[in-house]
Amino acid sequence: MPSKSKSKSPYKFSYTDAIQGKELYNYFGNRVLESRASSGRVVAVKVKPTEGFARSEADMMHYASQQPGILAPQVLGCYDVDPEITVTVSDLVEGDSLDNVWHTMTKEEQKSIKEQLKEQLRLFQQCTQPYIGRIKRQETRNFYDRIHFHFMGPFESEEEFDSWGLERVKSPIAKKIWARLLPGMRGAGEQKFVLTHGDLAARNIMVKDGKITGIVDWEYTGFFPEYMEYALATVIHDCPEDWWKPHLKEILEPCGYKRAKFTAAIKWRGW
């Protein structure tokens, strides 16, 4: 279940700043509004059902925004505005989402965007933790369940994470096969898990004048093995942006055939 901690907020605004505004985005009920705080500052207000939200999402986006060079919006506040709705207030990222402008770009402009995204991923991988989860050892969104809002972790090791995943394999025969294969699929030596955005869809990449201005929607973020960004982009997400997947495969480091197959084996679409 998502954390409902009422501890003192580290952010700067009160819930009264999370007001109605111009709708910028609406994806399966997750809305983003452009609003203006009482100070006059223009902000983005992300509105989500409280049931499907964990405050650790805001904590992770705040963490990412504080890392040198990472283009995550700065979080200004996170509030329950009524028993069923939670809002996250952040800086408004300038520009257009990449899905709206990619096909108007020249080949050189597209190449530049991909290089910029590679640099963002390099910066992500410089941010590490010795466990799988979110900062302060908080749980992460269970992205293997595609239709429910469940959470998972934290996990102290890749072995523990794989063992949790193995329990999701329904076929007893397949479970035995994966139990033999998984030890050889894990990295050796000291384990460090890297900052992972988790949903690098083109709609979540903001651009202006040929430059990436921000990466938004950190719902699936956490610290994971390096393969996870690729696995999420190519196996987990049923992305309507099929045209974007080949470009992501060029940008991201492949996770390997066996790891992709195991990821697919524990994904559950609900049917």
**Which band of pLDDT confidence, cut at 50, 70 and 90, is reported for residue 271?**
very low
- 148, 104: one domain: yes
Range of the domain at 54: 15-91
122 with 229, same domain: the answer is: yes
User: Is residue 174 predicted with pLDDT exceeding 90?
Assistant: yes
**Pair (121, 167) in one structural domain:** yes
- How many C-beta atoms surround the C-beta of residue 151 within 10 A? 17
pLDDT of residue 72: 98
Would you state the structure tokens that stand for residue 96, as one six-digit string?
């257009």
When pLDDT is averaged across residues 113-136 and rounded to a whole number, the result is 98
| Residue 9, domain member (yes or no) | no
**3 state SS of 182:** helix
3-state secondary structure of 25: strand
- Total domain count, the chain: 2
Same domain, 100 and 58: no
Question: CA nearest 236: which of 175, 162, 145?
Answer: 145
- Percentage with pLDDT > 70 across the chain: 90
Helices 172-185 and 158-166 sit at what angle, rounded to 10 degrees?
Answer: 170
Instruction: Verify that 87 and 103 share a domain, yes or no.
Output: no
User: What is the reported pLDDT for 268?
Assistant: 81
Q: Which of 91, 126, 144 is a domain's end point?
A: 91
In the block, residue with structure tokens 């028993």: 83
What SS3 state is found at 94?
A: coil
pLDDT at 200 over 50: yes
Same domain, 246 and 121: yes
Of the two residues 262 and 189, the one the predictor is more confident about is: 262
What pLDDT score does 269 carry?
56
In this predicted structure, what is the pLDDT of residue 9? 52
| Predicted confidence (pLDDT) at residue 238 exceeds the cutoff of 80 | no
Asked if residue 27 has pLDDT above 90, the reply is no
CATH number (domain holding residue 210): 3.90.1200
Domain boundary among 91, 108, 130: 91
Within-domain flag for 109? yes
Instruction: Give the pLDDT of residue 5.
Output: 42
Together in a domain, 132 and 253 = yes
* pLDDT tens per residue, range 62-121: 999 999 999 999 999 998 887 888 889 999 999 999 999 999 999 999 999 999 999 999
The model's pTM is 0.89
Same domain, 204 and 119: yes
- pLDDT tens by residue, 38-52: 888 899 999 888 777
Looking at 28, 59, 91, which one is the last position of a domain? 91
Instruction: Work out the pLDDT band at 262, boundaries 50, 70, 90.
Output: very high
Mean pLDDT for the chain?
89
